[in-house]
Structures are given as C-alpha cells and as structure tokens.
Structure 1
C-alpha cells in the first residue's frame, strides 16, 4: 500500500508535535510505503495532495486536526480513495466521532495498516455564489460561530479550553439573531422557520469546539444531518442550559429544536458560518447530506 501523509506545519497547534513522524515510522514498520507531504499554506497542501492522488496513491492520511482533515476531505470525497486520520490538532472532533482517540498515534497508524474501511456521509455547503465545500463534523452559525471567531483569535490557552473561555465572554453580549431556515426532513416534508434564534447548527458528526456534543445523536453514516436550533431566552435561563449542552442532554429543553434533515438553507444578515472549526462562508448557505461520500479507515472490531 502506498500512502500520502499530509501534515500542515502552519496549523495552530497540531501536526508539528511529531505525530506525523511517529505515524510514518509506524506505517513503514507495517510495510506501508509512506510519503510525507507538507505545504506552507492550505492552498499548497491541497495542491500537493491533489497531485499525489492523480499520480496514484492507495490512501491518504492526515496528521493534524479538523482543519487539516477538512483540506483532505475536499480532495478525496467521492474518489473512493480511503482517508486515515492521526488526530493530533487543536480540535479533533471529526476523528472523535469516528472513534479515534486524540494523540493515540500508534492505534491510528495500526488502523490504517489494518486496511479496514467503511463509507460515511459528508455534508456539502453551497454558498450564495454557487461554490461548494464539504465538511465532516459540524457547521456552526450564530452564537457558536461568534465563539469560534473569538477562540480562533486567542493565542492562549491552547486546546478545547479556549472555547470554554470564548463561550463565557460571548455570553455576556448574547442576543437573538433574525433567521430564516428552510429544511427538508427525512421523509421529504419541508418546514420553514422564521424568527430570532441564538444559533443554528448542522451536524454530520456529534461534537465541535473540542468535544462539545451539540448534536449528541448524530450518525455520520445514516444519510441524514442533525439540525439544532436554539431560540432566545433569558440570559440566566440560557446559562443554565450550557451544562446540559456539555453533557449532550439539551434535547428536552423547550428552547431547543432538533430535526433530522436531508438539507437545510440558513439565512441571516451578517452571520458567518464555521465548519470543522474554520470559516466556510457568510449566510445564506445551503447544506445537503452526501451519503457515503467518504471512505475512511476504521479500527478493527
């Protein structure tokens, strides 16, 4: 097996920790031919990976976090080329959804060498200009995208605790945002929601922000996306909601609506959405599920 291993040294905290080197050594010990690709920018990394796929690698591996994985997803989606993940970035939510433990490089490399794969869904975002992009875990808009704005601007602390601090700071100025949401349910029924929301979140995976289970029941292989809408309430009321979000038990809260959808269109003035932890575009955006679009390596058993 010939593998292209992508590492992004420009990532905020991740792949330069040595995970890529360790993973490459482990794969080679299994007899897997491994070439490390390292671009100086996202565009260069994508170009290197695209060339490797065109030349003919058997698999792509990413050592890094959600942002670097997202780069690889754009190139391998729909190709049948399997993707392996060595979770070693600031946020590893997509890997966690797939059952891969953060920084367990040996287990991740062994899963790739084992060759067991499965097909999972991706979400495809269509922007107002018609351009598209895939994501694997969660798209955030509203309060949680503002949290991402703040967390990404922070240089300290690293890891998931940045999101906790950003949540508390943004909470101080929390207010409802006017939204229009058009959605298609699993049975083809359409719904139209107009009004103020605190946030609108679309999940292919379960967690974001370093492990927050915003879509606790999401299954990346069920052919559907999980939509979470949170309506405004008093600040004290919403503050009580936060611990339930962290436990993934917020489904029963009156201000929270959850739907399983095939597609959803989100509109709101001045709101930028984030997906897999990075900005993906300003609303309005349409999000569709693409069943079985990605082949991934998975731990045996």
Structure 2
C-alpha cells in the first residue's frame, strides 16, 4: 500500500486523466438532497454508468467489480467516501469527488468544496489523480477502520455522535454547533496516556485527543492549518481539561483558527499514535461513530489512495 497510486502523483508531469468507469451517487447524502443530482448527472454523463446503491454493501460490491486502477466519480460527502474506503483502496481506484454532503472536509482539502456540481464535474474529469495519505485506527472493540479526514477521540467524538440526531435542515457548521450545545451538558474529561512515535506526550486528563489528516474537520473548522494529505504524517490535536464554560469558550477559537494560541491546546505531527485510558473514550471516524474504547492505535498509511485534487492540499 505504501507504493500508492502512481497516476498523476509526480508534480510537473502531465499525465492524462482517466475517463470515469462509474458514477456512484449516494441518494441518502445531505439528508437525501443528493438524490436530486441523479437526472442531471445522467444527462451530463450519458456514456458513464450511474449507480444509486441502496446500502453500503451494494456500493462496495460495485466498486470491487471494477478493474483495478479505474476512476470513479462519487457524489456524496465525507460519510459516503468513508464507507467506500475499503473498496477504493483494495482495487486501487481513483476517486473523483463531487461534493454533495453536509461536512465536505475532504472536498475542502481537495480544493473543490466551493464549486457547484457542474463546475466540479468539469474539473475532476480533466484533472489527473494524485496520491493521498489515509489514517488507520485499530481498537479491540471496533477492529480496524480507515479514515481520510479525522479520528476524533473524546468530547469532539461525542459531538460527532450527537450530530447524527441533529434536525435535518441543519447543515455544515450550524449542525456541528447544535451538537456541541447538546453535548456540553454531559461534558467530561478523559484520563489519557498519549504516546506518539514512541514518545510519551501526555498522561492525565484531556477533553479530547484527535488525529487529523485534513486541515479542517467538523464541517470546516480550521483545526490543523498545517496539515497536508500527502506528507506521510497525521496531526494530533490535544485539548486539555476544561469545564463547560471553558469548552464553549474554545469554540470561537477553533472556528477562527486561533485555538493554538491557548496554552492548553497543542498540535503536532506523528506517524503512529497510541492512546490508553482507564475509562472508555468516545470515538468517531470521519464523523461516523465507532464503539468507545480504552486502547486505541492510530497510524498513517502513506500514499494509500488516488484522488483528483485541484489544490495543493
């Protein structure tokens, strides 16, 4: 896996883009609003099969049936791509994303979040693919899971879990803020031992300790401004112990990218991370809930997925 996809991965080399072998549209993305793209996509791509899978298993089966190295257009958000990662990696497929979800942090990292679907489609059909890193989390309770944007551990995972119950009309950061206010009433800190690349970084209470691959998470919060998806490392965001008012006070800092000025907040790069706790820690991968765990290992998988990028990040 470390060799990664080669197409378009060398800067300055003009490698022709592959035509898409399949367009996969998640009809449930953005609380069902993504389904409205089916008819215009059929009209725009008359020679490309369009699939609207009923569930994750059928979507993965369609991808696993493609020839290795094929390009796939995916209309959906972070949750859609997350569920497809095992099949994308196994078949070494090229991901061309049409951002149509509620969070779209991967789309931000790829430089396509601000584009409408027609503009995104025109760009991603012409552009070459580049290799990006993925993350992997392993726990006794949840097994092995891949992620492309974030593995959250602690209070921000509790927020992601609470966001699953947010009103459907809420999207993006308003949805995340609603979940924060809903979760803060049950706020707690977690006793965590944090080791990164064999070095003990922290032992004691933390509000959360989250692993980030993209510069933003939580629907656009600029939490890891120096993060790159192709540098062979992840970023660990550690937030110390806060009470309810202190936790709420950090939100404007996170939203504005000023959080790293706070003495209880730290950001640093790693390749392998181990978190240990005497109490189960809430977890979420790319915003999707995982079983809480006391023993958590996170590592970077360099150049694991080919993606169409329009941006240096």
TM-score by length of 2: 0.85
After TM superposition, list the pairs within 5 Å mapping 1:127-138 onto structure 2: 127-128=139-140, 131-138=143-150
User: Would you say 1:180 and 2:163 are equivalent positions?
Assistant: no
Q: Root-mean-square deviation (CA), in Å? A: 2.3
Q: What is the CA-CA distance between 1:156 and the residue it aligns to?
A: 3.8
Residue 288 of structure 1 corresponds to which residue in structure 2?
299
Q: Which residue of 2 aligns with 1:273?
A: 283
> Any conservation in 1 of the 2:27–2:35 contact (CA below 8 Å)?
no
Which residue among 28, 36, 50 is the counterpart of 1:36? Answer: 50
Q: Matched residue of 1:157: which SS? A: coil
Asked whether 1:157 is paired with 2:147, we answer: no
Counterparts of 1:147-296 in structure 2 under 5 Å?
147-160=159-172, 161-184=174-197, 190-268=199-277, 269-283=279-293, 284-296=295-307
Deviates more, 1:5-14 or 1:213-222: 5-14
Question: Secondary structure of 1:296's partner?
Answer: strand
Partner of 1:294, secondary structure, is strand
The answer (yes or no) to whether the contact 1:27–1:110 under 8 Å persists in 2 is no
Deviation at 1:255, TM superposition (A): 0.7
Query: Which deviates more, 256-265 or 172-181?
Result: 172-181
Q: Secondary structure at the match of 2:250?
A: helix
Residue 4 (structure 1) aligned to one of 13, 22, 33: 22
Per mean C-alpha deviation after superposition, the further-off stretch among 238-247 and 189-198 is 189-198
* Structure 2: unaligned runs, 5 residues or longer: 1-18
Does structure 1 residue 25 correspond to structure 2 residue 35?
A: no
Counterpart in 1 of 2:308? 297
Tell me the distance in 2 between the aligned counterparts of 1:8 and 1:158. Answer: 19
- How far apart are residue 129 of structure 1 and its match? 6.2
Give the superposition deviation at 1:259: 1.2
State the aligned residue count: 291
Please state how far the C-alpha of 1:104 moved relative to its aligned partner: 1.3
Moved over 4 A (4+): none
Q: Tell me the CA shift for residue 230 of structure 1.
A: 0.6
- CA shift, 1:152, in A, is 0.3
Displacement, 1:297?
Answer: 1.3
**2:51 counterpart SS class:** strand
Q: CA deviation at 1:79?
A: 4.3
C-alpha distance in 2, partners of 1:257/1:16?
37
- 1:47 alignment counterpart: 61
The CA distance in 2 between the partners of 1:14 and 1:219, in whole Å, is 31
Residue 69, structure 1, aligned to residue 81, structure 2: yes
TM-score normalized by the length of structure 1:
0.88
- Cα distance in 2, alignment partners of residues 78 and 41 from structure 1: 19
8 Å Cα contact 2:141/2:291 also seen in 1: no
Q: SS at the partner of 2:40?
A: helix
Q: Is the 8 A contact 2:283 2:289 kept in 1?
A: yes
Q: SS at the partner of 2:164?
A: helix
Distance 1:207 1:300 in 2: 14
Is the Cα contact below 8 Å between 1:183 and 1:192 reproduced in 2? yes
Q: CA deviation at 1:8?
A: 2.0
Instruction: Report the CA distance shift for 1:201/1:98 in structure 2 as closer, same or farther (over 3 A).
Output: same
2:111/2:311 contact within 8 Å kept: no
